[in-house]
Structure 1
């Protein structure tokens, strides 16, 4: 059995990304663009994509490692979850040769980005309620529907949209069995519009609502087989969960490192506050939780890269759950360790209070993961 202990190559990659991220200073006018471009030049953005198309030839294992280290240095790139992990993976596995030639080299070198649209106003956790439809019109496709909470549409060159064919319709016009189809929709396609959602979360990547009003697409916009169903969809969703875990673990590590540094130096009485167990033990517990979450993330990434989609699905959900919980606890404890300073802009932890909740909520809530584990792993009956 292959060990989950990191290889020398992975250890070296982790050190290189960490060094790069720690020496990068974000600029106010382009908080992520410069970092994205520089990371792409070093091969980090496309590390999971095939070498034949300009990528690094690695897998989600390597990509999640990169995102974790970027986050641990305080420079996370949310679009890594979307562009190379979801969209790049789906195109690499199921795209036509023309789609691979057009998109994979550009996704790998950072010159183009792709967003991903699946969530709808009435179809959040229940993807079987997706109502965005794709119908044939001659050789073309016509897409109609709405999507919400789509990240980075304003900076993406196209969006990979999840729809369903009309042949999947049920009674009285309601969706029948889910047969998802994936379409590459260019940002300037007629009938494709966006509206930014006003979020309390002030991240560099904005969230959008999308409207598709009879968006006409050529036949070659379809990625993969229109009858492939859930196989193609989960080829992107499992990496999404693994990468979300990496995002959360990186954020938690960053918060924890700031708290440890503060606890070592802050002296109120005779010794630094980190000498007191009331401070030290919760930080130690947060570290343990993050390390355990990382192990599950590594297991999920290993299974996915080995081609075990079923095993990866279970592990990816568990990793995302564990990482989300560990991240929230680490951020909360870091803020409490700093006291009032934890809420100042100077120390940069207060904004993570909101950001850390993202890993609990998206791309799937912790409650739905518990439902999944209950009936898929434990064999308990469904409640829904």
Structure 2
């Protein structure tokens, strides 16, 4: 057995022990009902080095990979305390800056992202474009050495907790006149940067925001990497986002399955536990199989990404996110059904997870767009859109 495997097992056990103390019913749900962020969990997970496990050691990270960060997210979510901003700050923004940022950007941001003292949100989604970087209307124009950003974003997570937002804009190519994607670090206290909370109808500790960029002036060094490489930079962050989203979905599924199995083993009708009946046992067994399959695809995607296989990682990350979402929602629904009426009570803390689990089908990329990707790139069928 390799030492790396031992380290991964130790990491999994350590994260699970932390998550047990910050579990869903006792800690997360009360905070979520008050719309309060999971600050105490974030700070302790940071102190233990869990949140920067994928970032370079020279900047205070763990020097591991997306595999290990996904492991952290899965174990947190398996106790109902997955951290949405892990997907955003260390996985997307930390990865992009560590791969493409200047030395000054790395020094300024990576140590804080690694130890959790700084949080960076990610702004790509727009009302009329979704996450299609070729259609977004947020524009960055040169003004001397500075950049001027104008536009808007929606469904941007955790801006109230963030020190900056990594914003996807488009710049004009002087030679062709065409607009192309570019990434900019925008501190949240920059003049002209306005955030507005969005009214969501789900029970979640993290807020979603609409952003308005009203001629936001940024220095030249706000640009991350080279404009010509922006698509590569985007995918360097979007593949980890999908892998971490899959990890969160698998974890939620595990949480629901554990609750269902526990109840099915304890609840007796006519002297037998209800779990002795195939009508209860078989659907839960199916959920177990489908969660394990989704987990394997998530791990495959993480291994491919960490090994530098960008296309293989993109295919597997999309499939993992799809499989994780479907298995998670199915398992949560079955767990509620297993509990009968009890599954809808606050005592068991399952119905309140429906919104959070359902997110995985639409974010960070919808199941339909994943099916488009697989149809076109995996199967070689004609592009449908």
Normalised to the residue count of structure 2, the TM-score between the two structures is 0.95
The answer to whether residue 71 in structure 2 is matched with residue 73 in structure 1 is no
Alignment gaps of 5+ in structure 2: none
Which moves more between the two structures, 30-39 or 246-255? 30-39
Q: Secondary structure at the match of 1:154?
A: helix
Alignment gaps of 5+ in structure 1: none
The answer to whether residue 380 in structure 2 is matched with residue 379 in structure 1 is yes
Alpha-carbon contact 1:249-1:326 (below 8 Å) kept: yes
Which residue in the other structure is 1:359 paired with?
360
Match of 1:122 among 107, 110, 128: 128
Alpha-carbon contact 2:133-2:181 (below 8 Å) kept: no
- Give the superposition deviation at 1:170: 8.8
Distance 1:31 1:129, change over 3 A: closer
- Give the superposition deviation at 1:270: 2.0
The answer to whether residue 6 in structure 2 is matched with residue 8 in structure 1 is yes
Q: Secondary structure at the match of 2:360?
A: helix
Q: Distance in 2 between matches of 1:207 and 1:250?
A: 22
Q: Distance in 1 between matches of 2:217 and 2:188?
A: 13
Q: How does 1:141-152 map onto structure 2 within 5 Å?
A: 141-152=147-158
Q: Secondary structure at the match of 1:128?
A: coil
Q: Distance in 2 between matches of 1:107 and 1:18?
A: 22
Alpha-carbon contact 2:183-2:230 (below 8 Å) kept: no
Q: Distance in 2 between matches of 1:31 and 1:366?
A: 28
Which residue in the other structure is 1:202 paired with?
203
Q: Distance in 1 between matches of 2:174 and 2:204?
A: 37
The answer to whether residue 119 in structure 2 is matched with residue 113 in structure 1 is yes
Q: How does 1:128-143 map onto structure 2 within 5 Å?
A: 128-143=134-149
Q: Distance in 2 between matches of 1:84 and 1:342?
A: 34
Which residue in the other structure is 2:334 paired with?
333
Normalised to the residue count of structure 1, the TM-score between the two structures is 0.95
Q: Secondary structure at the match of 1:195?
A: strand
Deviation readout 1:46-84 (Å, 9 max, x if unpaired): 000000000000110000000000000121111000000
Distance 1:383 1:353, change over 3 A: same
Deviation readout 1:201-225 (Å, 9 max, x if unpaired): 1211100100001100001111111
Which residue in the other structure is 1:216 paired with?
217
The answer to whether residue 94 in structure 2 is matched with residue 88 in structure 1 is yes
Which residue in the other structure is 1:32 paired with?
38
Alpha-carbon contact 2:172-2:180 (below 8 Å) kept: no
- Give the superposition deviation at 1:127: 2.8
Distance 1:169 1:205, change over 3 A: farther
Match of 1:55 among 46, 61, 76: 61
Cα RMSD of the aligned pairs, angstroms, is: 1.9
Q: Distance in 2 between matches of 1:240 and 1:252?
A: 18
Q: Secondary structure at the match of 1:227?
A: helix
Alpha-carbon contact 2:133-2:168 (below 8 Å) kept: no
Q: Distance in 1 between matches of 2:289 and 2:267?
A: 23
Q: Secondary structure at the match of 2:41?
A: helix
Q: Distance in 1 between matches of 2:174 and 2:97?
A: 23
Which residue in the other structure is 2:293 paired with?
292
